[in-house]
């Protein structure tokens, strides 16, 4: 049975990563067809970095991803602290509500936010161009919040509250105890939530498509128009760089989580 499970696991990973492998190989191909490899070259990457329009779109995506992930991390951490202070029954209820945005289809979220922004813009603010950079940023913060909360909550549950009490007994104020003890202990969860929010924001297309205006467009939304015509090979290079960026971030997040778990295990062994 174990052998069968291993074989199935290998096939699943092959199925998942073959498209990315084809894309990466295509980014180094001299030819324009993915069906034939004409020779190794970095020409596609050179053309990518000469394309100011694509680089501007990439900059837009990075700007939205950085801002939304940072803001969502701050508000998500504060929300997690508030949820942790609730009673067990209320906490479970709030966490179930927190799960809804992640299980809800993105197209429903995107259309709902778009209608909300248009209603507020036209009816309350009297604006014609309701969808702007700010609506895009608010939408990204909105769908990033649950991921931050879910990464911070386990760290709050594992927190030894006697450490906070000990800090205050030694002369710390509640605020000082929070920054010196609580924040330090939950920092791996905050960092993991930040990285998760950044990756989710960077590659989002569906929600961004419905809430972005003409003045500020992200890379995934613009790339959608390329699917209606032959895709230039420099787009393969762009996808390869984004894939490597996300891969580095995910590996970093897992390493932070592993380090935090080892530290927690070591502390428990020392207490025991």
Residue 29's beta-bridge partner residues? 40
Q: How confident is the model at residue 69 (pLDDT cuts 50, 70, 90)?
A: very high
Q: What is the pLDDT of residues 181-211, one digit of tens each?
A: 888 888 888 988 998 899 899 888 899 999 9
* pTM metric for this prediction: 0.82
pLDDT in tens, 256-268: 777 777 776 776 6
Superfamily of domain 52-271: MetI-like (1.10.3720.10)
Task: Please say if the pLDDT value at position 91 is more than 80.
Answer: yes
Residue 238 neighbours by CB under 8 Å, 6+ apart: 48, 54, 58, 219
| Averaged confidence pLDDT in the chain | 84
The model's confidence at residue 145, banded by pLDDT at 50, 70 and 90, is: very high
Can you tell me the distance from the alpha carbon of 4 to that of 19, in angstroms, rounded to the nearest whole number? 24
Q: How many CA atoms lie within 13 A of 115 on its CB side?
A: 6
What are the extents of the domains in the chain? Answer: 1-41, 52-271
Under a CB-based contact definition with an 8 Å cutoff, are residues 221 and 170 in contact?
A: no
Which pLDDT does position 271 carry in this prediction? 61
Distance CA 220, CA 203 (A): 6
Q: What is the pLDDT of residue 26?
A: 83
Characterize 122-140 residue by residue with b for buried, 16 or more Cβ atoms within 10 angstroms of its Cβ, and e for exposed. Answer: eeeeeeeebbbbebbbbbb
Separation between Cα atoms, residue 72 and residue 67, nearest integer Å: 8
- Cα 189 to Cα 24: distance, rounded to the nearest angstrom: 32
Per-residue confidence (pLDDT) for residue 165, from 0 to 100: 76
């Amino acid at each position: 049975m174990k052998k069968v499970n291993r074989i199935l696991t290998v096939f699943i990973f092959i199925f998942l990563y073959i498209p990315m492998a084809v894309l990466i190989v295509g980014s180094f191909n001299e030819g324009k067809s993915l069906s034939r490899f004409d020779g190794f070259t970095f020409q596609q990457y050179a053309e990518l970095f000469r394309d100011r329009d694509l680089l501007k779109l990439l900059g837009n995506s990075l700007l939205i991803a950085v801002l939304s992930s940072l803001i969502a991390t701050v508000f998500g951490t504060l929300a997690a602290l508030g949820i942790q202070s609730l009673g067990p029954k209320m906490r479970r209820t709030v966490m179930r509500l927190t799960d809804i945005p992640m299980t809800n289809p993105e197209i429903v979220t995107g259309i709902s936010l778009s209608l909300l922004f248009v209603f507020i813009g036209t009816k309350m603010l009297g604006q014609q161009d309701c969808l702007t950079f700010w609506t895009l940023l608010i939408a990204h913060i909105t769908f990033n919040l649950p991921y931050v909360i879910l990464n911070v909550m386990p760290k709050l549950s594992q927190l030894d509250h006697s450490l906070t009490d000990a800090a205050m007994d030694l002369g710390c104020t509640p605020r000082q105890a929070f920054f010196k003890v609580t924040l330090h202990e939950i920092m791996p969860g905050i960092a993991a939530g930040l990285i998760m929010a950044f990756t989710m924001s960077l590659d989002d297309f569906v929600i961004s498509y419905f809430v972005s205006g003409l003045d500020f467009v992200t890379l995934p939304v613009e790339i959608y128009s390329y699917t209606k015509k032959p895709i230039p090979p420099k787009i393969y290079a762009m996808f390869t760089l984004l894939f490597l960026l996300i891969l580095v971030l995910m590996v970093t997040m897992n390493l932070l989580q592993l380090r935090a778990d080892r530290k927690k295990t070591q502390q428990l062994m020392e207490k025991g």
